[in-house]
Amino acid sequence: MEVTRIIAVRHGETAWNVDARIQGQLDIGLNDHGHWQARQVGQALAAEPVTAVYASDLQRAWHTAQRIAEATGAPLQPELGLRERGFGLFEGKTFQEIEQAWPEQASQWRRRVPEWVPPEGGESLLLVRERVAETVQRIAARHPGELIVLVAHGGVLDAIYRLATRQALDAPRTWKLPNAAINRLLWSPEGLAMIGWSDTGHLEVTARDEGSA
Q: Which of the following is catalytic: 11, 33, 143, 153?
A: 11
Contact of 28 with 87, CB cutoff 8 Å: no
Contact of 26 with 91, CB cutoff 8 Å: yes
Cα 201 from Cα 206, distance rounded (Å): 10
Active site residue 99: no
Question: Judging by DSSP bridges, how do beta strands 182-188 and 191-199 pair with one another?
Answer: antiparallel
Q: Which of the following is catalytic: 13, 79, 84, 210?
A: 84
Classify burial at 209, counting beta carbons within 10 Å of its beta carbon; exposed 0-12, middle 13-18, buried 19 or more. Answer: middle
Strands (E), the chain: 4-10, 50-55, 76-78, 147-152, 182-188, 191-199
Cα 197 from Cα 185, distance rounded (Å): 8
Active site residue 84: yes
With b meaning 16 or more CB within 10 Å and e meaning fewer, what string describes 81-108?
bbbbbbbbbbbebebeebeeebeebbee
Cα 88 from Cα 163, distance rounded (Å): 24
Q: Which residues are catalytic?
A: 11, 84
